[in-house]
Structure 1
Amino acid sequence: MISVEEAIDIVMSHTLEPGKEKIFLDKAIGRVLKEDILADRDFPPFNRVMMDGIAINSQAWEAGRREYYVESMQTAGSPQQTLSETQNCIEVMTGAMLPQNADVVIRYEDVNITGKVANVSVDAVTSFQNVHLKGTDRRVDDILIHKDQKLSPAEIAILATVGKHAVEVVRQLRIAIVSTGDELVDVNDTPSPYQIRRSNTYALQSALQVNGHESKGFHINDEKEVLGVKLREIVEEYDLVILSGGVSKGKKDYVPEILEKLNVRKLFHGVKQRPGKPFWFGVREDGSSSTTIFALPGNPVSTFMCFYTYTLPWLNRCYGIDNREIEASLSEDFEFNPPLTYFLQVKLNLDKGQLLAIPVIGKGSGDLANLLEADAFLQLPSGRSVFKAGESFPVISYRQKI
């Protein structure tokens, strides 16, 4: 077995280059940009009215005029009008172009309009008051979004603003999730007393989806020949294969043997950690193509921990997304004796600016329900057995609370 640190180094040194593709804007949320996005014109593209009110010429104000004849109305989305007489005004709406010959907008709250005459009740005005000046946000050809950024709704809004109906992004890896085991039945089935419903595939697919990755799920029973045939097809078709189960030392744990027969190069099998000790990792390279295989232990807590500690950071690295490194402080003393890295299930709480990790003790790696009570795993290092309240350790969160 190898240490957690060695395992992470090996995993991260075997990332893939997904390539890139062009997709339509309505499918781009969560994807990673592969081109710089430039302003196609100034932001804003014209002197923009910021308040509903009247537009006047400041020279008339300085000359003492407080009563203005209303020439017309300038609405948003209409061509720019011109104030023909500086002693007059034009009613303007928020978002409209500032009329020519006008340089001040006075809001309706400070104006009394009777018929076609506007009386102003403010004591002072300033040049370009309530006007968003052309080009003050960004200039044409400025870089608005740099490539390698994950697209959020804010970036989508900018892409739409500059007319990018299609955008170049990192190609999505083809991901397969494979569960194994005769004891597993589908979610729609009623399990026999000796069976359970499959949950790991749904959990992994959901974890991928919420992070912007699509995947396809499979289940294969513990029949060596069938497992070999189906795994060959999957490994040849997909860029990333995440297996759940069949990697320990049981009589029907065939996955490592079959992967070896499929020319998948084992990079390690077994990590000094709890949970998830039987974790297996390898790659299959065939000319110009490559498939990465994460074979995770089948117990649900082990699957969860290994996915969030190894697989998701690996995917982020492939896509050029920075992996956040967060630490949390233990809320109370904790002891763990075996010489392993221990991933302690914890509930997270922000208290006066400090992120606290509150231990949530379950009943082992098969205790799926305990994941509901916790938010994350706190990574406690090997080589010691006593961990004091207030000490900070890396935290791997699976719930979006931080």
Structure 2
Amino acid sequence: MSEQTGQTASGQAHAPMPLVDARRRIDERITPIDATERLPLPQALHRVLSHSIAADVNVPSADNSSMDGYGYAADDVAGPGTRLRIAGQSLAGHPFTGRIGAGECVRIMTGAVVPEGVDTVVMQENTTADDGQAVTIAQPATPGDNVRPAGEDIARGDCVLAAGHLLRPADIALLASVGAAEVEVFRRLRVAFFSTGDELRPIDGPLAPGEIYDSNRYGLAAQIESLGMEGVDLGAVEDSPAALAAAFDKAAGCDALITSGGVSVGDADHVVDVLRGKGAIDFWRVAIKPGKPLAFGTIGETRFFGLPGNPVSTAVTFIQLVRPALVRLAGGRPAAPIRFTLTTATDLSKRPGRENFLRAQLDFEADPPQVVAIDHQGSGVMRSMSRADAFIVLPAESADVPAGTPVTVEPFAQTVWR
């Protein structure tokens, strides 16, 4: 067997691949989908732009006021007490169409077009009106104040959003502001997934001794949905080569297939062998904890990710390796993880050899802020993920870390798409 499969020709397993190398290998082998469709803007939320969008208009379309007040030419106001004649008013949607003369001003509302001759707007609180015919400037504005120039937000011809951008609610509003009634987006990524194990049972039924509820599949479904992708649930599959092969066949036509369980070295772990018969293995085993037994490969045009079965290992490997790969496969640009340094409030147990992802809670109320590791770090303790809001990331070469030591922290809440 080749080195890419994770074993030597004699069948001996290579050392687990460092996480940075695994990410690079996956990235090199991901080709974004190329099928696109045009959608009305209201239907494009959480879709990925396939083409950059340039503005056909200025936003705002004309100089306008950012305040309710009076617009005038700064040269006409010598100082406090200057009196100006009110030539008219400019309202949002109902502009003053003339040009003000010397010694004149206009009553102007927020968002209204600034008339010709006006270069400054003073807040109405800093004026005293005189029967609607004139106004006294009690506190003049600085020349140019409170005037928003045409194109201040977006100038005609500017790139509004680049190809590969995931459309969020603010992006929908931004595109509407330039009149983009339709957008071209990549089709929604189709991601098949299933869990393996004879011990797995549906969550709406009773458990016999030795059985567990099939939780990983629900976690994967939620992760896929959170990315705005179409999940294809293939259920729970028994630990047999025939059943696994049939499940692999059902994933044909999907862009990616994710499995949980069956990728270790136990007698009932058949996923890697079945993958070998159906497609190609690129690598197997990554030097991280939790999550070492992870397989990556291809089945025809489908990218395959075989995740370990322990629930925390499934979650960690999805976040660290699968999620950015799916973003790239969907035509997007994965964001680099946000990391910063905090002091650990607890001793951290660590053996050199694998990069560790400890579940932890951020404590910004402490002085100085610190990070607190969850008390139980077992890979089968999903409660550690539910209670946590960050990973403490310990390098592969690191050993035990005493309390009070600065450590690298990677929060859960961060941007996935760049």
Task: Give the structure-2-normalised TM-score.
Answer: 0.80
Q: Quick check: 1:216 aligned with 2:232?
A: yes
Aligned to 1:362: 376
Q: Deviations over 1:93-128 (max 9, x none)?
A: 111112334444332213333543233142545544
Deviation at 1:359, TM superposition (A): 2.5
Aligned to 2:335: 322
User: Which AA in structure 2 matches 1:322?
Assistant: A
Deviation at 1:209, TM superposition (A): 3.1
Among residues 120, 134, 139, which one is paired with 2:155 in the alignment?
Answer: 139
User: Which AA in structure 2 matches 1:177?
Assistant: F
Q: What is the CA–CA distance in structure 1 between the aligned matches of 2:295 and 2:229, rounded to whole Å?
A: 22
For the 8 Å contact 2:200–2:236, the answer to whether it is kept is no
For the 8 Å contact 1:20–1:34, the answer to whether it is kept is no
Three-state SS of the structure 1 residue aligned to 2:58 is coil
Three-state SS of the structure 2 residue aligned to 1:175 is strand
Sequence identity (%): 29
Q: What is the CA–CA distance in structure 2 between the aligned matches of 1:73 and 1:348, rounded to whole Å?
A: 54
Deviation at 1:14, TM superposition (A): 1.9
Deviation at 1:69, TM superposition (A): 4.7
Aligned to 2:246: 229
Q: What is the CA–CA distance in structure 1 between the aligned matches of 2:225 and 2:281, rounded to whole Å?
A: 27
For the 8 Å contact 2:390–2:409, the answer to whether it is kept is yes
Among residues 274, 293, 312, which one is paired with 2:323 in the alignment?
Answer: 312
Aligned to 1:90: 106
Among residues 283, 287, 294, which one is paired with 2:305 in the alignment?
Answer: 294
Aligned to 2:298: 283
Distance 1:370 1:324, change over 3 A: closer
Aligned to 2:190: 174
Q: What is the CA–CA distance in structure 2 between the aligned matches of 1:311 and 1:380, rounded to whole Å?
A: 20
Aligned to 1:18: 33
Deviation at 1:130, TM superposition (A): 2.6
Q: What is the CA–CA distance in structure 2 between the aligned matches of 1:278 and 1:370, rounded to whole Å?
A: 20
Q: What is the CA–CA distance in structure 1 between the aligned matches of 2:80 and 2:348, rounded to whole Å?
A: 77
Among residues 364, 380, 386, which one is paired with 2:394 in the alignment?
Answer: 380
Distance 1:28 1:393, change over 3 A: farther
User: Which AA in structure 1 matches 2:307?
Assistant: L
For the 8 Å contact 2:46–2:166, the answer to whether it is kept is yes
Give the alignment of 1:2-401 within 5 angstroms.
Answer: 2-5=15-18, 6-19=21-34, 21=36, 22-57=38-73, 61=77, 66-83=82-99, 86-222=102-238, 224=240, 225-234=242-251, 236-261=252-277, 263-285=278-300, 290-318=301-329, 319-324=332-337, 326-329=339-342, 331=344, 332-337=346-351, 339-350=353-364, 356-362=370-376, 364-383=378-397, 385-389=399-403, 395-400=409-414
Deviation at 1:76, TM superposition (A): 0.2
Deviation at 1:241, TM superposition (A): 0.6
Distance 1:323 1:315, change over 3 A: farther
For the 8 Å contact 2:199–2:210, the answer to whether it is kept is yes
- Structure 1: runs of 5+ lacking an equivalent: none
- Structure 2: runs of 5+ lacking an equivalent: 1-13
Aligned to 2:6: none
Q: Deviations over 1:191-221 (max 9, x none)?
A: 4454333221222222233344342322133
Q: Deviations over 1:379-398 (max 9, x none)?
A: 43445533355666655543
Distance 1:55 1:392, change over 3 A: closer
Distance 1:216 1:124, change over 3 A: same
Q: Deviations over 1:211-237 (max 9, x none)?
A: 443423221331633432232121x12
For the 8 Å contact 2:130–2:136, the answer to whether it is kept is no
Deviation at 1:303, TM superposition (A): 0.5
Q: What is the CA–CA distance in structure 2 between the aligned matches of 1:46 and 1:217, rounded to whole Å?
A: 52
User: Which AA in structure 1 matches 2:290?
Assistant: P
Deviation at 1:284, TM superposition (A): 1.8
Q: What is the CA–CA distance in structure 2 between the aligned matches of 1:64 and 1:373, rounded to whole Å?
A: 61
Deviation at 1:17, TM superposition (A): 1.9
For the 8 Å contact 1:33–1:147, the answer to whether it is kept is yes
Three-state SS of the structure 2 residue aligned to 1:370 is helix
Distance 1:398 1:42, change over 3 A: closer
Q: What is the CA–CA distance in structure 2 between the aligned matches of 1:161 and 1:252, rounded to whole Å?
A: 57
Three-state SS of the structure 2 residue aligned to 1:335 is coil
Three-state SS of the structure 1 residue aligned to 2:23 is helix
Distance 1:57 1:309, change over 3 A: closer
For the 8 Å contact 1:180–1:220, the answer to whether it is kept is yes
For the 8 Å contact 2:100–2:118, the answer to whether it is kept is no
User: Which AA in structure 1 matches 2:54?
Assistant: L
Deviation at 1:283, TM superposition (A): 1.0
Q: What is the CA–CA distance in structure 1 between the aligned matches of 2:408 and 2:72, rounded to whole Å?
A: 60
Deviation at 1:343, TM superposition (A): 3.1
Distance 1:36 1:221, change over 3 A: closer
For the 8 Å contact 1:71–1:90, the answer to whether it is kept is yes
Task: Give the structure-1-normalised TM-score.
Answer: 0.83
User: Which AA in structure 2 matches 1:143?
Assistant: C
